Amino acid sequence: MGENRFGVSIGVVGGGAACVSLVHYLVDKGVPGSFDVTVFEANRPVGPGLAYQQDTDILRMNRMARTMSVLAEDPEHFWKWLSSHPYYAPLYEGTDDYLPRSLFGAYLQDVFEQTRRVGLKKSISVEVVKKEVIHLYKRDRYRLMTRDGETHEFDIVILCIGHPSSIDHFNLRGNDRYVHHPYPLSPAISVIFRNDRVAVLGSSLTAVDVAIALQKQGHAGEIHLLSRTGELPSVRSEFAPCQLRYLTREAMVGILQKRGVIRLRDIIRLFRRELRPYGEDWRDVLFPHSRKRSPVEWLKRELDAARNKRRWQSVLAAANEIIEEFWLYLDEADKNRFMRDYHRLFMARRNPMPVRNAVKIHQMMQQRQLTVKGGLKHMDALSDGTFFAQFDGGEIKRYDWVINATGSSRNLELASCSGLLLSLLHNGYARRHAHGGIDVDFQTGAVVDQQGRADLRLRAVGHITCGTYYYTGSLELIAKRAEQMAAEIVDLLARSGKIAELV
């Protein structure tokens, strides 16, 4: 660790996109020589994280290249990096498309290395420890323990630990043909025989990834995407920039002044007003399709609709500006109702799949290789290593493989927590948020302990904060939070120069 003027040290746990963004802003905004940073990453080089790790090229980003960036103020940062890259630029020349996620991972790795170089010039060292942190203990400073029993002390710790594991809904772990962690997909599916029947748990973007990766490896057997609702993600249309006129911070403040709380119906009313000038029916967005049409019919309709600009998608994307605050002030009973009745649907609409993936899924459905089935009730392993699934009405299906594509769990059930999360919860340094993840202070991202005290020296960014901010599944919002947090930490350090004043 380098020598800095104040002897302040910052530990960052997790080395994915959130970490790259956060460390960039810490170094960029930091007063030369004011602190050192140490990043702990358990599984891979710092940069790609889970989402953008090395994997098959068929896995694409779900936003166009020009709009994906790890820097909040520069949406074209990745695009510019790509355009000037000596190796990748010729490969992707003129393509402003949905590019491979692993390519974005290479960009993240480069941004991080560049940050380290800038840090060196500013006497801010950025070290990497390639180990898993499993324990945090608070004394006057924070002691992190890695899996090998080593300990490291820090003044500030920031959790960028990304996605906890999915929930094992049917207790299938331990079976040879059950894949609990689908990513990286290439090795996970390479052992599946060509004609095997595969059940994919979930029907969201991860399930779509699994289906198209199986198709790419020449799979000929049946693939069933199984979920309770049978709702596929929408299809992304051409992006039309949109300035919100009704669903705004001013509208929110107006409602709060009148009533002190936001109701779900307020949000729906403002959303309807946003759509009205474009003649789009809000019911198409907010009502499930699965009750009305078969998935194949619905997907065909979506593909047709995606040829035109769909304003509701732009409205939902533009709502990134205000979504966190609307969530903060939403009535608690409405939050519960939203999470119970609308959350899954919202995610299916808010995270649409690119047309190229939708076309593949549609073809596979037409060829009857792929089926989207709702009403999954129960599943278990049989003694021959295969599985059975039972659906509403008692229908039974048999499968050779089960792949869990339900995505990262929001609720921190014991089985989905990592060692570090469990240690934080057991020591009372963190508490579960009622709507997912751990509780953090809205303004600062400071982790709230069991007594309800926010600790400014222990903060968190990313999925783990989803209960407080609701929508954390977009890099744009993660980068925005990372920038705010870094600015605030740097500001406090610069003003005080002493860590004691942080607490």
Ligand X SMILES: Cc1cc2nc3c(=O)[nH]c(=O)nc-3n(C[C@H](O)[C@H](O)[C@H](O)COP(=O)(O)OP(=O)(O)OC[C@H]3O[C@@H](n4cnc5c(N)ncnc54)[C@H](O)[C@@H]3O)c2cc1C
Query: Tokens at residue 238, please?
Result: 């051409």
CB of 378 to ligand X, least distance (A): 27
Q: What are the beta bridge partners of residue 129?
A: 40
Interaction between residue 50 and ligand X (CB under 6 A): yes
3-state secondary structure 363-430: HHHHCCCEEEECCEEEEEECCCCCEEEEEHHHCEEEECEEEECCCCCCCCCHHHCCHHHHHHHHCCCC
Among 65, 160, 440, 482, binds ligand X (CB under 6 A): 160
Interaction between residue 231 and ligand X (CB under 6 A): no
| Binding region for ligand X (CB under 6 A) out of 251-259, 305-313, 320-328, 470-478 | 470-478
Cβ atoms of 70 and 78 within 8 Å: the answer is: yes
Interaction between residue 58 and ligand X (CB under 6 A): no
Instruction: Quote the CA–CA distance of 26 and 396 in Å, as a whole number.
Output: 54
Q: What SS3 state is found at 11?
A: strand
CB of 14 to ligand X, least distance (A): 3
The CA R_g of the chain, rounded to the nearest whole Å, is: 23
How many residues in the shown chain lie near ligand X by CB under 6 A? 34
Interaction between residue 151 and ligand X (CB under 6 A): no
Interaction between residue 14 and ligand X (CB under 6 A): yes
What is the DSSP track for 267-302?
A: HHHHHHHHHGGGT--HHHHHS-STTTS-HHHHHHHH
Instruction: Quote the CA–CA distance of 70 and 429 in Å, as a whole number.
Output: 29
- Identify which of residues 161 and 339 has a Cβ nearer to ligand X in the complex: 161
470: left (phi over 0), alpha (psi -120 to 50) or beta: left
CB of 33 to ligand X, least distance (A): 27
Interaction between residue 374 and ligand X (CB under 6 A): no
- Identify which of residues 166 and 227 has a Cβ nearer to ligand X in the complex: 166
Instruction: Quote the CA–CA distance of 12 and 161 in Å, as a whole number.
Output: 9
Q: Which helix (H) or strand (E) holds 458?
A: strand 454-460
Among 37, 361, 420, 499, binds ligand X (CB under 6 A): 420
Positions 167 through 196 that interact with ligand X (CB under 6 A): 183
- Identify which of residues 18 and 251 has a Cβ nearer to ligand X in the complex: 18
Instruction: Quote the CA–CA distance of 361 and 490 in Å, as a whole number.
Output: 47
Interaction between residue 266 and ligand X (CB under 6 A): no
Instruction: Quote the CA–CA distance of 269 and 282 in Å, as a whole number.
Output: 10
- Identify which of residues 290 and 418 has a Cβ nearer to ligand X in the complex: 418
Among 475, 482, 485, 486, binds ligand X (CB under 6 A): 475
CB of 473 to ligand X, least distance (A): 5
CB of 296 to ligand X, least distance (A): 25
Interaction between residue 18 and ligand X (CB under 6 A): yes
Among 10, 12, 16, 465, binds ligand X (CB under 6 A): 16
Interaction between residue 49 and ligand X (CB under 6 A): yes
Footprint of ligand X (CB under 6 A): 13-19, 40-44, 49-51, 61-63, 68, 132-133, 160-163, 183, 418, 420, 462-463, 473-475, 478
